[in-house]
Amino acid sequence: MTLPPSCCWTGDCLELLDQRQLPDAVAFMRLHGWQDVAEAITSMAVRGAPAIGIAAAWGVVLAARSGEDLPSAIQGLRASRPTAVNLCWALNRMQAALASSGSVDVDALAGVATALHNEDRLLTQRLVDHGVSLLAQGCQVLHHCHTGAIATGGVGTALGVIAAAHTRGLLRHAWLDETRPRLQGAALSAWELGCLGVPCTVIVDGASGLLMRRGEVDAVMVGCDRVAANGDVANKIGTYNLALVARAHGIPFYVCAPGSSIDLATPDGDAITIEERDAEEITHVRCVSVAAPGAQAWNPAFDITPAHLVTGFITEFGVLRPPYCEVLSALPLPNQL
C-alpha cells in the first residue's frame, strides 16, 4: 500500500491527513484559514515535528491569501504547540521571506512553503540512509511513538530507518511501544509498518525492560522534537525511561534528529518548554473513561533525555557522536544560517 502524504497544497486550501482517524480511516481535512491549521496542530490532527512545521508554513500562506494580519497569524501558529522547534523554524523562514520582500506576496510565500516541504523530503532520505548503516543483518529494533512518513514531508526519521532496513533485508523485527497516552505507536507506527509489510509487534511501554533482558533488542531508535545545544533531547513522554533501560542493558540508543530539530539557542534540556496537555488524554481512551471518577492526572506530552544517554544522533549530516556541544555547534544548521 502507498502511504498517503501528510499534507498537500491544492492552490486554494491545505489538504491535511487527519492522523486522529488512523488506523480506522484515511481521511483528509480541507483547511482554508490559518486558525484551522493552528487547531489541527493543537488537536494533533497533524503531528510529528517536521509535519507540524510544514503545515504551519502553509498556514501563513492561507493567512496571506485571506488578507489577514500576518504577524498575528504567525504568533498564533507559533503558540499552537511549544516544544517542537521545527514549528518555530518553519515560521521563522516564512517571516524572513515576508521581511525580505517588503510586501505580502502570496506566490513567494507559497514558494517558501513548497521549498520547506521539498527540503524535508530530501533531508529525511539522507538521514535514513545514515541510520541504516548502523544496523546489522538480522537486527531487532525498538521504537517509541511515531516518526514515520506521515509525520514528515518525506520518508520519516526513526521509523523511516526501520522501514528502509526491512527493504534492504537487514531487519528481523521491529518492536513498537504503544506510547501512552495517545497510542501513536499502536495506532500510527503499527499501521504504517503494516502498510509497508514490515514485521512488527506492539508492546506496552513498560515491557521494554523485559524485552531487553531477554536479548530481543539490538538497538533503540527514536525521533525528537528538540535537541538542545548540549545534546539533551525533548521527545515524547516515555523516551527518558527507555533511554535509561537501554543504558542498563548496554543497548545503543539512537536519536534521529533532522537539522531543523537541533536548537543551538537552547542551552540544555532544562530550558525547553514542556507542553502539558489535557488530563482527559490519560483518564479516557477514545472518549471512554478508564480512571476512577474524580481522579487527578498529570499529562506532560514530552520528557527530557540527558545527552549522556544518547549513543549517537542520526542526522542528514551523518551520525554524530559525543562530545555533543562541539559537534552540534559545528553543523551548518538550516535554522541557524
Alpha-carbon distances of 77 from 35, 42, 135, 152, rounded to whole Å? 8, 9, 38, 18
Residue 257 CA to residue 223 CA, distance in Å, equals 6
Using CA atoms, how far apart are residues 268 and 266, in angstroms rounded to an integer?
6
DSSP per-residue codes, 138-197: TEEEEE-S--SGGGSSSS-SHHHHHHHHHHTT-EEEEEEE--TTTTHIIIIIHHHHHHHT
225 is catalytic: yes
Tell me the DSSP string of 277-300: --THHHHEETTEE-S-TT-----B
- 137: which DSSP letter? T
Residue matched to cell numbers 530507518: 161
| Cross-strand bridge partners of residue 139 | 171
Phi, psi of 331 (to 5 degrees): -75, 145
Active-site residue (options: 36, 177, 218, 225): 225
Distance CA 46, CA 130 (A): 26
Determine the Cα–Cα distance for residues 155 and 163; give it in Å rounded to an integer.
9
Q: How far apart are CA 20 and CA 291, in angstroms?
A: 22
**CB of 322 closer than 8 Å to CB of 231:** yes
Q: Catalytic residue numbers?
A: 225
